A and B are shown apart, each in its own frame.
Chain A
Amino acid sequence: MTLTKKLPDAEFEIMKAIWQLQPPVTSGMIMDLLNGEDEKIRKLQTVHTLLNRLVDRGFLRSEKKGKERFFTPLIDRDKYLQFETNKFVKLYHGGSLLNLVNTVYQGRELSSVEIAELVKWANERRGEI
C-alpha cells in the first residue's frame, strides 16, 4: 500500500499506541495505554470507531478469536514516520524562494565527507592537548 495522506490526529493516536504495544492487540490494551498516559479519557466506543476506520484505510488487520477482536498493524511505524517526515520536509523547506531564504538563514547541511573530516580533525585536536 502506498501512503498518500497523513492520518488524522485521533486515528494517529490509536496507531501510535498500537506501535508501542506487542501485536496483536485488543481494544482493551489500547484503552489502557491511552488512558494511562493521557489526560483526556477516551470512550471504548470512540476507540472502536477509530479502529474500524484504520482497518478500512488498510493500516490494520483485524481477526476475531473467540469474543475478542485482535488488531495487527499492516504499516510499519518507521515506514509511516519516513512518509510523514518526507512530507514535512517538502513543505517546510519547499519552494525555491523559501529555500533560498533558508539557505541564507540556517546554513547548509553537512555532507558525510565533511563529517568524516570533522571527526578526523577532532581526533587531531585531541592529540594536541
Chain B
Amino acid sequence: MSDFIVQLFRCSCSMAVVALLYTITTTLLRNKYSPKGFYYGGLVVLWGFIIPFRPNINISIPAPIHISADELSSGAALLQNAFATSLVNSEQHGVAITSTKGIMVAPMQVALYVWLLGVVIVLLYHSLRHVYFMNAVKRWCIEITEPRILAVFDEMKLQLGITSHLKLKNCAFISSPMLVQMNDPTILLPDHHLSAADLKLVFHHEMIHYQRKDLLYKGALILATAINWFNPAIYLFAKVFSHICEVSCDAEVTEELNDSVRYQYAMIIIGVARRHSKLNTAFSTHFYGGKENMKHRITSIMNKSKRISAVLLFVCLILTSGAGAVFASETDDIPIDPVENTEEYWEAFYKAEEEDLKKTIESFSEEFSNEFDEQDYKGMTITYSKDGITIVDDPSTLDPKVMAVTAVIKYKKHPFYTSSTCDSSKILFYIPKGKTVVITDSYFGGATAKVKYAGKTGYIKKSHLKF
C-alpha cells in the first residue's frame, strides 16, 4: 500500500509537469496548430492523471524526484524496517510496539487515509452539485413540439449519421444550449428564439459533443480531479482542457463553412455568453467563462487556414507515458518565463484594445445627414406611400463572396436611420423586404447594426435582419 501512495505522488508530480507543458503549448501555439491535436493530446494527459502507473518504470529503484516524494520513499523503507522490528519486539516488549508504530507507521497510513478522504470529498461534492443541477433542470424541461425546430434537429441528425436515441427538449432554466445525460442523452435548448440557421449551428455543435462522448470525458476529468485533488496542476489542466474541448468542437462545426456563417456562429456564442447566468454543471458541456478563452474561441472560429495537428498528439503521448521516468528529475526546471511574458503581452494587448473600443463606440454613434435628396439615389426606384414614407429600392445586387457580412431585411419594410439612437425622427427612408444590406459594424451594446445600403451608411435594428 505504501508503494501505491508513493507511486501515486510521484506520478501526480510528473503529470503536473506534463500538464504545465500542455498549458504553455496550448497558450502559445494555439493559433498555429489545429485544436483537434490539442484535444486528443489533452485526452492522453487526462488518462495519464487517472492511471497512476506507467509500464516502463521500475518501482524498486528510488528516483529522488521531489522533496516530498523523497521523504515518502525513505518513509517507505522505514516502514518496512518498522514492521520487521515490531515483529521481533512484539514477543519481548509489549509496550515498545505502540511507540514504534506511532512514529514509523503513521506517516504512510495517514497519507493514505488523507488521500482517500480527499477523493471521497471531491467525488461527493461534484455528485451533489450534479444531482442538484439536474433536478432543477429536469423540473423545467418540456417537450418541443414546434415543427420548425424538430425539422432542423432531424435534418442535422441525418447529416451527421446519428441513429441512436438523442433527444431534444426545451428548458427555461438554462441560458445556453447544452448536452446532458438524463435517461437518454438530451440536447437542451434555452427559451430564447433561435433562427433556423442558428439552430443548425447549435445542434451541430452539441451533436459533435455527443459523437465524441465528451460527457464521458467530463466525468473522467472529475475522476482525475478526485484522484489528484492535492495537485494544483489538475485544476489548471481541467480548466484548459474544458476550453480546448469547446474550441475543437467549434473547429469541427466550422470546418467547411464560409466567412459569413463563421461570423454568425461567433455571434451566437457571444450572444449566449451575454445571456449566460451563472449556471454550469460539471457534467454538461457548456461555455467556459473568461475573456481570453472567449477571444480564443472566436479567433479559432474565424481562422480558416488549415493547421497541423497530429504532431501534438504524439508529443503528448510520449510525454505522458514517459512522465514518471523522463521528467522525474526535471521538476524544478519548469520554464515559467513564457507564461509571465504572455501575461504581460495580454495586458498590453487589452490596453490597446480598450482604446480601440472607445474609438468604435465613437464611430458607431456617428450621425449622418437627415436630409433626403432624390438626386443621391440615381438608378434606384423611389416610391412614396400614402402615409408619406419614402421607400428606396436599390436594384444592384451584391456579390456575397465580396462582402464579408450581409443581411436581408426580414419584414415588409424597414426604416433606415441616420443615427444609432434609432429615433423615429432619424428615419431617412425605408428599405423594402428581401433587400440585402452590408453590415459594416455590429455592436452588442445596442440592438443596432451599422449598414451600407444604396450608397448610404446608416443604422438598422438588428432584430429586423436575417443573416
Contacts and interface: CB of A to CB of B under 8 A. Distances in A.
Nearest to A36: B143
Interface in A104-129: 104-110, 112-127, 129
Contacts of B288: 106-107
A108 B278 CA distance: 9
A49 interface: no
B295 interface: yes
A93 interface: yes
Interface stretch (A24-32, A60-68, A80-88): A80-88
Interface stretch (B100-108, B131-139, B369-377): B131-139
B40 to A, nearest CB: 23
A120 B304 CA distance: 19
A20 B142 CA distance: 9
B273 A120 contact: no
A107 B289 contact: yes
Contact of A85 (B173, B263, B290): B173
The B interface, classified by DSSP as helix, strand, loop or mixed, is helix
Nearest to A93: B278
Contacts of B172: 77, 81
Contacts of B334: none
B307 to A, nearest CB: 15
A37 interface: yes
Contact of A112 (B129, B259, B274, B405): B274
Interface residues of A, number: 38
A105 to B, nearest CB: 6
B390 interface: no
A123 B238 contact: no
A59 to B, nearest CB: 15
Contacts of A89: 277-279
A125 B273 CA distance: 19
Given A16-B142, A92-B129, A109 B289 contact: yes
A116 B289 contact: no
- Determine the interface band of chain B, counting residues with CB < 8 A from chain A: 35 or more
B5 to A, nearest CB: 25
A117 B274 CA distance: 12
A93 B139 CA distance: 20
Nearest to B263: A126
B289 A108 contact: yes
A105 B298 CA distance: 22
Interface string B106-141: 000000000000000000000001001100100110
Contacts of B444: 112, 115-116, 118-119
Nearest to B360: A120
Given A107-B290, A110-B273, A116-B357, A122 B235 contact: no
B447 interface: no
Contacts of A20: 142
A88 B368 CA distance: 48
B294 A125 contact: no
A56 interface: no
B291 interface: yes
B452 to A, nearest CB: 14
A91 interface: yes
B299 to A, nearest CB: 7
B181 interface: no
B266 interface: yes
B302 interface: yes
A63 B375 CA distance: 65
A9 interface: yes
A119 B291 CA distance: 12
A120 B356 CA distance: 9
Nearest to B304: A129
A110 to B, nearest CB: 5
A58 to B, nearest CB: 20
B291 A118 contact: yes
> Which 7 pairs, one residue from A and one from B, show the smallest C-beta to C-beta distance?
A107-B289, A107-B290, A119-B444, A125-B302, A116-B445, A114-B291, A120-B360
13 contacts: A9-B139, A85-B279, A92-B132, A106-B288, A107-B293, A108-B290, A115-B273, A119-B442, A119-B444, A120-B356, A120-B443, A125-B302, A127-B404
Given A92-B132, A117-B291, 6 more contacts: A37-B142, A92-B279, A105-B238, A107-B293, A115-B273, A123-B441
